[in-house]
Every structure is written in structure tokens, then in C-alpha cells.
Amino acid sequence: VLFGRIEEKYEGAAAVHRVPRLHPVEEGSRAPFDHRVRALLDRAVRLVDAGVSILVRGEVGCGKEAFAREVHAESRRRGGPFVMVDCSEENAADLERSLFGTAVGGGALEAALGGCLFLHTVEVLPLALQARLVRALAGTEDDDARPPGRDFDLLSSSHWGLADRVAAGGFSADLMIRLAAHTIELEPLRFHPDRRALIREIWQAVAPPELVDRLPEDTLAVLAAHGWPGNRRQLIATLRSLVVLAEAGEPLVPEVLPHEIRQAPDLPSSDPSVGVDVEEGLGAITLAAMRAALEAEGGNVSRAARRLGIHRSTLYRRLQNPDAAKP
């Protein structure tokens, strides 16, 4: 686990103070990236090194956290801490303590000094905390114990465009300006122009040298035809499972792939070799992504909706009526 929290109980207080646990990113733990994302990474590193804040936007599984970690690992502040706060994981009171600290301990803004602060799923940050965060980043917090301004790289991620949230009254325009001086979009795999080449490239990154040539073309074709509702996260996990099977001596024939990958494609593709009806494909992937998110969150509809970046009522309605998942 690269990021966690430690609990510090202090006398005379009922609350629990959560402090980001800092771990260096080890070389072997870094995610593989294809050349298209690699180009975005190079741009992001140049920008953060110049003091530009970056918003990384993308669907669930597109690799927003891995992208942010890699930017830090290649930045001029790579020797400093990488501090992540997941804005969707805590209630407002705990989130405030995580960000700003308490009388007995600093929060993430202080812990990130000299390194990188990454605000994950920042679009769900409560409005009251958004206002305080603007003041903290501007160096106008009343508490002298808080660091003035920011002496860290600032990255954040969102499922949605923050401008849409601002227009809907759910996000501070001032905070958007401070967090998203530049926005980087991580595209879903279903829109990748050449999934076959992408999969081959990532396979070469995750497989040991002796297995690089062991992925047959028919298996590669099945992988390329799949819509990948879990995007890069799902693809990388699947390829790593194939590495395990190959190391155990199993031939990597299509039959070793999970049933949901071997079945008919569930997403539209810009690859003309993958024949999928666009309307049906979008509906299928929407429903597949919703079910996958619900399973990942242990059946909790609210958390699954936050993971997908949609309203709880929308998720519930579409799961109850699968036809509603079609555009």
C-alpha cells in the first residue's frame, strides 16, 4: 500500500486525528504507461516544475492517481513527500482535519511541504472546505501555524470538468482557478484509436523479457475487442494475471481469459476492426461500469455513485432499469 492513514489519539479530545502516511514510490511499483500517456506525463512534469497546478480528469480506472504519482516521481520535488487526500473517503469533519490538521498535529497541507499534494476526487469537496482551502493556498489563513501560500506541487483529480460543477453551484470558481491552471484528460480505453497497439505496449511493460513474445495474436485480438469498462486499471490487472499464468506454464490462449472479456465487445471503438453498434455499446458499457463500481464498493450505492461521478439517484434508477443506461 502506497498511501494510508495513521491514527493519533490525543488526550482530552473525542475525535481521531488522521495524518497522511508518506511512502516513497518504489521503482517496481510504478504503473506502466503507453507512449500517448507518456507524452502527457512529460508535459505535466514540465508544468508542475514551473509551479503550474494541474487537474487530471478521467473516468474510473483511467489511472489518475498513478499519473499523479508518476508526475511527482519525475518532478524536481521528487525527493519530497507525496501526500494524497481522497476527498470522497471521509466526512466533512475528518476531511477538514486531514487537510488542515488540529492543535496537536499538522494536516496534509503542512505534510506536503517540499513535495506534492494530490487532492483525489476533488469535485466532492464540501463548499465550506473549498472556501478554507482557497484561503490556505492564498496564504490568508488566520492561524499563524499554517504554512503561508504553498511550497509544494499541487495536483488534483476529478471525474467531471470543474467548470460544469462551478456552473451548477457545486464548486468554487476561485478554487477551480487555483487547482486547474492546466487540465489533462486521460481518455477511456474505448476511445483509444488502436487498442491492439496499446495492449501490446503495456504487455511489454508488465511482462518479463522471456514472456514478451508469448502473447498470441488471437488472445491479443480478444483483448483488443473488449471495451474495458474499468479502463487502464482493469487492463493492467488482466495483463498481470496473464503473466502469472504464463510463469506457471499455461499457454496464453483466449480460453484463459475471464468470461466477461471473452464475450462480445461491450463498448464502441474507434477501431474499425471492432464491429460494435454504437448505441448498444454505450449502454452496455455504462451498465457494466455501474455494476463494477457497485461491486467494488461492496454494494454501497452512494460510494459507487461517487466513484462513477454520477448522482446516487441516477445510479439507482439505471440499475433498476437497464434500458435507461442506453443514451
Q: What is the spatial distance between Cα 44 and Cα 64, in angstroms, rounded to a whole number?
A: 12
- In angstroms, how far is the first alpha carbon of the chain from the final one? 38
CB contact set of 155 (below 8 Å; sequence gap of 6+): 48, 53, 54, 55, 56, 68, 71, 72, 116, 117, 118, 119
Q: Clarify whether residues 178 and 219 are in a common domain.
A: no
- Domain boundary among the residues 186, 204, 231 is at 186
Domain count of the chain?
2
Per-residue pLDDT at 28 exceeds 70: no
Per-residue pLDDT at 15 exceeds 70: no
Give the CATH number of the domain where residue 169 resides: 3.40.50.300
Hey, what's the cell of 65?
Answer: 492517481
Q: Do 111 and 52 meet the contact criterion of CB atoms below 8 Å apart?
A: no
Q: Clarify whether residues 178 and 220 are in a common domain.
A: no
Pick from 313, 279, 310, 315: nearest CA to 295: 315
Q: Clarify whether residues 97 and 245 are in a common domain.
A: no
Q: Mean pLDDT of all residues in the chain?
A: 79
Q: Clarify whether residues 225 and 248 are in a common domain.
A: yes
Per-residue pLDDT at 318 exceeds 80: no
Stronger pLDDT, 41 or 274, i.e. the higher one? 41
According to DSSP, the β-strands at 17-21 and 4-8 are antiparallel
pLDDT band (50, 70, 90) for residue 311: low
Say what the pLDDT of residue 27 is.
Answer: 45
Per-residue pLDDT at 6 exceeds 50: no
Per-residue pLDDT at 182 exceeds 90: yes
Please name the residue ranges forming H helices in 16-157: 35-49, 64-74, 92-100, 108-111, 127-138
- Domain boundary among the residues 166, 186, 206 is at 186
Q: Clarify whether residues 199 and 149 are in a common domain.
A: no
Say what the pLDDT of residue 323 is.
Answer: 58
- Domain boundary among the residues 140, 161, 186 is at 186
Hey, what's the cell of 37?
Answer: 500517456
Q: What is the spatial distance between Cα 82 and Cα 249, in angstroms, rounded to a whole number?
A: 39
Say what the pLDDT of residue 194 is.
Answer: 92
Q: Clarify whether residues 180 and 205 are in a common domain.
A: no
Stronger pLDDT, 211 or 2, i.e. the higher one? 211
Calculate mean pLDDT across residues 273-281.
Answer: 34
Calculate mean pLDDT across residues 209-225.
Answer: 94
Burial 193-204 (b: 16+ CB within 10 A, else e): ebbbbbbbbbbb
**Which of 98-107, 111-120, 266-275 is predicted least confidently?**
266-275
Q: Clarify whether residues 18 and 164 are in a common domain.
A: yes
Residue pLDDT, tens place only, 296-305: 777 787 777 7
Q: Clarify whether residues 129 and 240 are in a common domain.
A: no
Q: Clarify whether residues 104 and 135 are in a common domain.
A: yes
Domain that holds residue 160: 4-186
Calculate mean pLDDT across residues 202-226.
Answer: 94
Q: Clarify whether residues 171 and 306 are in a common domain.
A: no
Q: Clarify whether residues 165 and 24 are in a common domain.
A: yes
Handedness of CA 70, 75, 78, 84 (dihedral sign): negative
Q: Clarify whether residues 170 and 27 are in a common domain.
A: yes
